[in-house]
Amino acid sequence: MDRARPHARPSPVAAALAEAGRWGIFSGRVLRRAAGGPPAAGRVIEEAYRIGVQSLLLVCAIAVFIGANIALQGYHAFREFGGQDLVGIFVALACVREMGPIVAGSMVAAKAGTAMAAAVATMRVKGQIDALEVMAVDPYRHLVLPRLAAAVLALPLLVLFAVACSVAAGYAVAVHQLGVSPATFLDNVAAYTGTRDVLFGMAKGAVFGVFITLLACYQGFASASGPEGVGRATNRAVVSICVVCIIVNYLMSELMYG
């Protein structure tokens, strides 16, 4: 008599594709609810405070040190060619186009994204999401849409703060520590960056907000039972957000500046 063959475990590629498909279905459901009208303004403001205001100090602190480091490294690299006065261009382009959105997105992912995933996963484990469905309350509209709208509003503003702090820190290091002319630094910043670059950076922030929310909430909805399930959901949310946002950042940079 033939023995039953054990089920073969799917390959990592197949598992990743299946997970991406489930996330796509989840995102489609959320976006269909969004087409039915905006969420309650009170809930959006509450979530915007958690995502934006509570992440602001962290974003600014990281942006300051990144801007200072970019100025320091750029100055010493350009000095080899006698172009140390061009450090303002390097600081402006790096911070406005790339590091501002990356800092805002990564810090929100680390702070607010994990909080979203943990909160939704805890509700899943406790059966509260099922209870909402029993009471005819749409969990996608009630739990995900306010967070999605808040992230789309808060992330572009956080990008602005990150850009301002990083460029200001780069200016302070270049001018007061390395001896670059203040007028030269500011002239280079104004000449090589403009409103278009700032708006593109804010657009990146809004797109990051969409992916952070959808990925974090999806992992919360898909959480397994128990404290370990909540922990795994939170960990998967952070990993997936970081990977996806880095890929999306490259694709948007190629589209905007390619």
Question: Which H or E element spans position 10?
Answer: none
Can you tell me the distance from the alpha carbon of 156 to that of 200, in angstroms, rounded to the nearest whole number? 10
For 154-166, how does the pLDDT look when each residue is reduced to its tens digit (9 = 90+)? 999 999 999 999 9
For 160-202, how does the pLDDT look when each residue is reduced to its tens digit (9 = 90+)? 999 999 999 999 999 999 999 999 999 999 988 889 999 999 9
- Residue 4 confidence (pLDDT) above 90: no
> 89 CB contacts (<8 Å, ≥6 apart)?
188, 189, 191, 192
141, part of any domain: yes
Report the range out of 79-93, 199-213, 235-249 with the highest average pLDDT.
Answer: 199-213
211, part of any domain: yes
Can you tell me the distance from the alpha carbon of 238 to that of 58, in angstroms, rounded to the nearest whole number? 17
214, part of any domain: yes
Segments forming the whole domain that contains residue 172: 40-257
pTM: 0.90
166, part of any domain: yes
Instruction: Look at the alpha carbons of 103, 106, 107, 108 in this order and tell me if their dihedral is positive or negative.
Output: positive
247, part of any domain: yes
Number of domains in the chain: 1
120, part of any domain: yes
The per-residue b/e assignment along 44-75, b for 16 or more CB within 10 angstroms, e otherwise, is beebbebbbeebbebbbebbbebbbebbbebb
Averaged pLDDT, 201-207: 95
161, part of any domain: yes
Can you tell me the distance from the alpha carbon of 114 to that of 130, in angstroms, rounded to the nearest whole number? 22
- Residue 116 confidence (pLDDT) above 90: yes
